Amino acid sequence: MAKIIPFKAVRPTRDKVSLLAARSYDSYTAMQVESRLRDNPFSFLHIVNPGYKYQKEISGEERYGLVKNRYQEFKEDGIFMQDEKPSFYIYKIVNRDGLEFNGIVGAASVQDYADDVIKKHEDTLEFREIIFKEYLKTVGFNAEAVLLTYPDNPELEAIIGKVMQSRAEYEFTTTYRDTHYLWNVDDAKLLEKIQKIYSKMPALYIADGHHRSASSYLLAKDLKEENPHHKGDEAYNYFMSFLIPESDLKIYEFNRLVKDLNGLKKEEFLIKLDENFRIENRGMEYYKPSKKHHFSMYLDGEFYSLYLRKSKYEIKNALDALDTQILYVTILKPLLGIEDLRNDQRIDYSHGKKDLAYVKTVVDSGTFAVGFGLLSVTTEEIKMIADEGLKMPPKSTYIEPKLRSGVTIYEF
């Protein structure tokens, strides 16, 4: 049964939260990072990019130590405060498209992760797990919550709705026109009630944050071994999570872009595709798939629809039925010679929010030779794959919401 506990978050003061909150560092271009660091001394980017103070790129263990220093400086300067009581945090995001996401920030158990109560659907890279574990070990805090999801629960929905009737402690709108709200819940009876509801859930599912949760598990193992007085209730036995109901998840597809046809001419490539797909030339019509096992392809100035020939493809499990897996085993690997979807430099990805116009633009520019559009994965598919202990191909899902770093921080 799932164990979710409240914690004493470190948070920015009300007057600084809109200035401090930042997207994930990797989501910014170099120019965007430079402008934010130059113009906003309160941005959380100053903490995660501490070398800016010295106009020098700093990496590895030296950077980790400086991140810790910057964080401590923000605390010393009163930019951050720490709650006196353990709390859950009701968090609401309304994005510029009008989509609303409501959930609870709390601390999830690393033991639940180990015991598969918290279920995974993506593979992680061991070297990234270790790097981030060492980072966490040095800095002593986590500022990015793992996104967990659970079946819709009327009791939790009622609690969240009642809390949100009061005035939010934080309300701020980002430059991307997403509005964020946060309520602090520290009433002991309500905390106990929320914990009890989660404890009745047989499983939670990672929607986003597989490497973060894996690294937190490795960190807990290390710190347990180093602590002769380990009891199991230490902060390092948990990791910060944002828990939202399944119906609130918004899942976009990741389209595929390939730089060449692996030595094949256009006509040869189409003939080989014909073995597993019914192909129709759509010309300049923007074709976006509307059914599972249907794919869009943009090649040499024209769109094509590709319908899987089901008589030629055997489905044995939930992974076999996944469109990203079908594309990989029928086209990307055998025809285009792409085996390593994470590291092959010939393939790139664009999430569905950029749509097929982006695919057309980069193929027309000559940067890529062919682009493939897919239907987005469903929550049910994610759960089936996780329940069967299988792993999706990388870049199968682009999931919202995306929390801002630094709004709630978990110290261990």
Longest dimension (CA), the chain: 69
pLDDT of residue 61: 87
Could you please report the per-residue DSSP string of 319-371? TTT-HHHHHIIIIITTTT----TTT-TTEEEEEGGGHHHHHHHHHHTTS-SEE
Better-predicted residue by pLDDT, 177 or 335: 335
**pLDDT, average across residues 207-224:** 96
pLDDT of residue 60: 85
What is the domain class of 251-399 according to CATH? alpha beta
Q: Residue 117 is encoded by which pair of tokens?
A: 């109560």
- Cβ–Cβ under 8 Å, residues 203 and 113: no
Asked whether residue 96 carries a pLDDT value surpassing 90, the answer given is no
pLDDT of residue 44: 96
pLDDT of residue 149: 98
pLDDT, tens digit (0-9, with 9 covering 90-100), for 7-44: 999 999 999 999 999 988 878 888 988 999 999 999 99
pLDDT of residue 354: 78
- Cβ–Cβ under 8 Å, residues 4 and 159: no
pLDDT, tens digit (0-9, with 9 covering 90-100), for 237-287: 999 999 999 999 999 999 999 999 999 999 999 999 999 999 999 999 999
Distance CA 72, CA 70 (A): 5
pLDDT, tens digit (0-9, with 9 covering 90-100), for 174-209: 888 899 999 999 999 999 999 999 999 999 999 999
**Would you list the domain boundaries of the chain?**
4-250+400-411, 251-399
Asked whether residue 408 carries a pLDDT value surpassing 90, the answer given is yes
